[in-house]
Structures are given as structure tokens and as C-alpha cells.
Amino acid sequence: MNELAGHLDQPLTSVDDADVREFESRLADSSALAVRVAYSVVRNRQDAEDVAQEAFARAYRRFSSLRDRERFRAWLVRMTWRLALDHRRSHKRRQARDDAAMEITPQTGNLETDTIAAERKARLWAAIEELPDRLRVVTVLAAMEGHGISEVAALLGVAEGTIKSRLFEARQKLHERLR
């Protein structure tokens, strides 16, 4: 029995063994992607994990109905993004998240330098959050490791030219807000 099924006491009802094995593989491949997408919206690591966890649970429930398995990552990104937006709207930890954004993480050992870095980061995220949704998701996905234009286009299901123009527009808006 595979690893996932081994953790389950009762037999799976909607996903057969082959699907379970494939889902397990997708879970290993796409966990970081889902958590980062969620983090870019909720800006709290624990909340991001909760959102990504919920996204995977939903994906598992509907996995057997997903015909094009190659589109799993795109499917997961969309689902995670939506869940993260819902979470951010409704979650009670919103204020805590905003406070955490101002937390100064010691990185250089110099309090002044760390404070400046924290403020700059807070301004950056504030500027990203002001972007329209279509620009924000492109900016975040393009910033992730290993995501070129074609990868972002595939994840969002739009043309590469559209991604390029959206990135250009997002960059301009960020520049205006951060100068």
C-alpha cells in the first residue's frame, strides 16, 4: 500500500489506488508552490500552510474528476489563490498578520539595518497588495524560483505575451508606488 493510503484507516471512496499514488506524487512536487502562493496573499507562514493544506484536501476530493493531470499545478494554484483570498477576507488573524509584517527579523545583527529592511519589505508588500488581482498573481508567480514566462503562462492558462505585458505593467505600478 502506498504511503498516503497507509495513513488512512478507511478505504478511499473517491480515489482509487493509482490515483492515490499519483496524488501523493503531486503533493510532494507542489507543496512548496501551494504554500508560497498562499503566503503571497495571507503573508503568514502558518496561515499559508493552513490554506495550502485545505487546497490539497479539496484537490484530493476532486482529483479523480481531473482529466488532464498535467494541469494539476495550474488547478492547484487557482484553488490556493482563491482560498487564500477568502482566508484573508474572513480570518480573524488578519490583524496579527499585519502586525507580523512589521516584525523585525534579525538578519544582520544591526538593529538599524534590520529595521530599514523590515520597513522596505512592508512597503513592498503593501504595494503588491494594491496591484489588481491579475497583476499581483503574475508578479508573485514570476518571482518564484524556476518560474519563467512560459511557466507562469502555463500556470495561469494565458498567452506568454499577456504575461509579459502584465509583468511590465505591474513593474511600472510598483515603481511608481515605491519611489
Partner 1 sequence: MSDEPMDDILRELRDELNGVRPSPEFAAKVRRQIEAQPARRWFGIWQVVTAGVAITIAAATVVVLQRTDTPIAVVPVPQVARVAPEPRPGVPASDSTAPLRGTTTVPSQKGGTRSAAIVRTTAQAGPEVLVPTDQRMALISLLDGMRKRGTQVPSATEPLVDSEGRLPVPAEIKLSPITIELLGPPIPGGGSRERR
Binding of partner 1 at residue 18 (CB under 8 A)? Answer: no
Binding of partner 1 at residue 10 (CB under 8 A)? Answer: yes
**Is the CB of 142 or the CB of 153 nearer to partner 1?**
142
Q: Are 10 and 25 in contact (CB under 8 A)?
A: no
- Cα separations in angstroms, 62 against 23, 55, 56, 134: 11, 11, 10, 25
CB atoms within 10 A of CB 53: 15
Binding of partner 1 at residue 56 (CB under 8 A)? Answer: yes
**Nearest distance from residue 65's CB to partner 1, in Å?**
12
CB atoms within 10 A of CB 8: 10
**Nearest distance from residue 68's CB to partner 1, in Å?**
22
Site of grid cell 490556493? 80
What span, in angstroms and rounded, lies between the C-alpha atoms of 2 and 28? 14
Binding of partner 1 at residue 96 (CB under 8 A)? Answer: no
**Residue from 13, 65, 90, 95 in contact with partner 1 (CB under 8 A):** 13
**Nearest distance from residue 87's CB to partner 1, in Å?**
15
What span, in angstroms and rounded, lies between the C-alpha atoms of 69 and 23? 10
**Is the CB of 50 or the CB of 153 nearer to partner 1?**
50
**Nearest distance from residue 103's CB to partner 1, in Å?**
13
**Is the CB of 39 or the CB of 81 nearer to partner 1?**
39
Q: Give the angle subtended at the CA of 41 by the CAs of 166 and 101, to the nearest 5°.
A: 115
**Nearest distance from residue 128's CB to partner 1, in Å?**
7
Catalog residues that contact partner 1 under the rule CB under 8 A.
4, 7-10, 13-14, 27-28, 31-32, 34-36, 39-40, 45, 48-49, 52-54, 56-57, 60-61, 120-121, 124, 128, 139-140, 143-145, 171-172, 174-175, 178-179
